[in-house]
Chain A
């Protein structure tokens, strides 16, 4: 029966570590996300499939993906919530971080291309099984529209947007 005590003590230590580090990481991450979102706000990311027709753009697929793991505390709490039901709040904030981070990474790529917009943004998510702890991949992808005058090099074939779409 003493192994139960050892097990419980082990779990408590892991919970404390998971809570401490997980919360610290999450706070820092949110701070960074908010800062970068403000910095990249000039680049509109739009979900519509119909791009502007005011001028020719080259279309380039841009992606941003993130793999984010939960911590021991989140996993444990989620396990308890699974018994009673309700919002799995520890994973809600985790997924929000992943989604926003993936958009930011996608935007980074688009900004490098001097894109004016990113159109038709979509999300994809996959659960990555790492033992019992949850890790999620979130992929954001869209079509970056780069105005042709701004000089996409000749090697990259500019594609005219079909104005009749």
Chain B
């Protein structure tokens, strides 16, 4: 019997498609898929979450009693912040049954945020830099606007929906690093939503500021404080990317927008500023 081997034929297990071509096709398709998915789920998740009645949202959060700051140790500061919030809300279109609770935290974090259940948290790090009540009122009105627009629950709903979907897509054992990169693409899509929320909140806050004080002085100063705190620009990162990837609009963009809105409504940009309470500095120093 004769035994012989022929040389194996080439090109059976190798694809004729250039790997780079395949790579770009797949990458573009995957990114488009992620963006569509996140946009869709953010939108529908937010829409559904907003249908949860505020009173129910508030009751649930109260039941859970999440720890917010250390208000108990700072009763005067907390009382003042809540009183300011109530004053501002008189000039905001708050629906029946919607209310906020302001908490204080003596951490040095430079931040304030609104979260589910109408809870606002103000950090000492931010309050420290407030020059007058108007500037503080701008932050406060901004955060109340988030509650008014139901942003915390909407981003929670949209966030949960899109995170679960992304996890299903990218948590797949085979996707590996590609999955991680797609997750970033999803996050970048997500932040496009939060930014529009921020701008809407700025707009609402400005109206409240005007309604309360008769002018909008303090609004642009607030963003200048943000800008100086951030110590921008960071040089290394191009501006367009910073704008595209940030959860908040750039400070300069917010200043420009504020001026634009104020001008279009003929709200004076300057006016007599209301000082902070005389005791404010002492409250901040309290341990």
Contacts and interface: CB of A to CB of B under 8 A. Distances in A.
B66 interface: no
B285 interface: no
Given A96-B14, A117-B3, 19 more contacts: A1-B187, A2-B234, A2-B242, A4-B184, A4-B187, A5-B241, A5-B245, A8-B184, A44-B5, A76-B178, A76-B181, A77-B26, A79-B176, A84-B26, A84-B30, A92-B14, A93-B13, A95-B13, A100-B8
15 contacts: A1-B191, A4-B187, A41-B5, A43-B5, A44-B3, A72-B177, A76-B176, A77-B22, A77-B23, A78-B174, A79-B174, A83-B178, A87-B15, A93-B13, A133-B176
A11 interface: yes
Interface of A is mostly: helix
Contacts of A79: 174-179
B245 A38 contact: no
B175 A83 contact: yes
B188 interface: yes
A92 B180 contact: no
A90 interface: yes
Nearest to B29: A84
Interface in B16-35: 17, 19-20, 22-23, 26-27, 29-30, 33
B237 interface: yes
A143 B187 CA distance: 57
Contacts of B13: 92-93, 95-96
Interface residues of B, number: 42
A73 B176 contact: no
B176 A132 contact: yes
A37 interface: yes
Interface of B is mostly: helix
Contact of A83 (B8, B19, B172, B184): B172
A78 B177 CA distance: 10
A146 to B, nearest CB: 15
Interface residues of A, number: 42
A80 B27 contact: yes
Interface in B132-161: none
A7 B184 contact: yes
A75 B181 CA distance: 13
A80 B182 CA distance: 10
